[in-house]
Amino acid sequence: MTLIIFGQCSMVAQLVEINDNMETYTLGDPIDSDWWSHGNCSGGMGCDLFPSTVFFRSGSKSGLVPGDGTTDVALNLGNKIFDEWALSFWIYIPSNKEAHLQIMDQYPVTSGVSVMGNILFNPNLSNPGEGVIEDCYGGPVNFNFPHDQWFQFILIVEIFSGISLATCAILIDNVEVLPYGTPFTDSVGTTASSFGGIEFLSISQNNELFVDDISYQSAFYENVDEFPGLLFQIQPNPVVHTLNIQSDFEIEVVRIFDTLGRDVGSFRGTALDISSFAAGLYFVEVVSGKRRAVQKFIKN
């Protein structure tokens, strides 16, 4: 896959809204504060997310959606109607367990509808390591995931042309499940009223999902319309070892940022050795004189 961008924009500027490693919550108490709440239930035990020390990706805690069949956790993403938004979190699903989440167009989720309903992991315990997005643009989409280890879920929503024309991408375990530019709609084309929240549901007695290291921020670019645009290509994408850049302009500096906006590497030249980078989503910024442009890429 080759991406092309006409950049009238400068380096990535990040507005971080959520950065939660689950370490601040008290064991035994429901998590019902900040960006966490509940959906169609009254809160507390059997409804809210609960801190757990059974599995954790960082620190000593994660959040648990158990197998009680009633827990209905809501993550507030702010009812966005403009800009580009990147959500990332890590999931752990033990063997012989299933899990369920959906993307909502409104928060509180009780007043909204599902944009992409029923993202199922090992539904009915019938397909270990397999999942499906049941209701998204183009119809059901299958994917794979690992049991008994942490894996990343990334959702990008682009709303630059208004919410009715919003597009999205979903990556699960570093695999592009929905490609960039997928309409942000359900399978029949119903558009969202906003990018509202995520709902984690306890779908059955066999449900068990742990969540950790949640990150959510905008990825927007400062307008510099007074300068001509910069055209460049990157390939391959996703990439494992070397990211190649092609441009008709003389490239002076290349910088790479992670999803928190941190500068993780500066390069000169057009063949970038990123083999040491951790797997995930990154932004590459190309500078040529007063021209700058940015693209996204995935490191596998």
Average pLDDT value over all residues in the chain: 87
| Cross-strand bridge partners of residue 235 | 244
Q: Which of the four pLDDT bands, split at 50, 70 and 90, describes residue 9? A: very low
Q: Which of the four pLDDT bands, split at 50, 70 and 90, describes residue 257? A: confident
* b/e burial code for range 67-98 (CB count within 10 A of at least 16 → b): beeebbbbbbbbbbeeebbbbbbbbbbeeebb
Torsional class of 34: left (φ above 0), alpha (ψ -120 to 50), beta (otherwise)? left
pLDDT at residue 3 is higher than 50: no
Q: Do residues 105 and 112 make contact, with C-beta atoms less than 8 angstroms apart?
A: yes
Q: Looking at domain 221-299, does it have CATH number 3.20.20.150?
A: no
| Cross-strand bridge partners of residue 290 | none
Of the candidates 86, 142, 79, the residue with the CA atom closest to the CA atom of residue 105: 79
In angstroms, the CA 51 to CA 28 distance is 7
Average pLDDT, integer, range 275-288: 86
pLDDT at residue 42 is higher than 80: yes
Q: Which amino acid is at 218?
A: S
Q: Which of the four pLDDT bands, split at 50, 70 and 90, describes residue 221? A: very low
In angstroms, the CA 253 to CA 70 distance is 53
Residue 224: the pLDDT is 35
Residue 283: the pLDDT is 85
Q: Which of the four pLDDT bands, split at 50, 70 and 90, describes residue 16? A: low
Q: How far apart are the first and last CA of the chain?
A: 14
Residue 4: the pLDDT is 35
Q: What does the block give as tokens for 49?
A: 């997310």
Q: Do residues 102 and 118 make contact, with C-beta atoms less than 8 angstroms apart?
A: yes
**pLDDT digits 0-9 by tens, 138-165:** 999 999 999 999 999 999 998 878 899 9
Quote the distance between the C-alpha of residue 6 and its chain's center.
24
Q: Please state, for a pLDDT cut of 90, what percent of the chain lies above it.
A: 61
Q: Do residues 136 and 186 make contact, with C-beta atoms less than 8 angstroms apart?
A: yes
Residue 127, CB-side half-sphere exposure with 13 Å CA sphere: 12
Rank 94-98, 112-116, 259-263, 291-295 by mean pLDDT and report only the highest: 94-98
Average pLDDT, integer, range 46-58: 97
Q: Please state, for a pLDDT cut of 70, what percent of the chain lies above it.
A: 90
Average pLDDT, integer, range 51-66: 97
**pLDDT digits 0-9 by tens, 85-131:** 989 999 999 999 999 999 999 999 888 889 998 999 999 999 999 99
The distance between the two most distant Cα atoms of the chain, rounded to a whole number of Å, is: 60
Q: Which amino acid is at 44?
A: G
**Number of C-beta neighbours around residue 222 at 10 A:** 11
Q: Residue ranges of the domains in the chain?
A: 13-220, 221-299
Of the candidates 232, 240, 246, the residue with the CA atom closest to the CA atom of residue 279: 240
The CATH fold assigned to 13-220 is Jelly Rolls (2.60.120)
**pTM tops 0.75:** yes
In angstroms, the CA 55 to CA 208 distance is 11
Average pLDDT, integer, range 217-236: 62
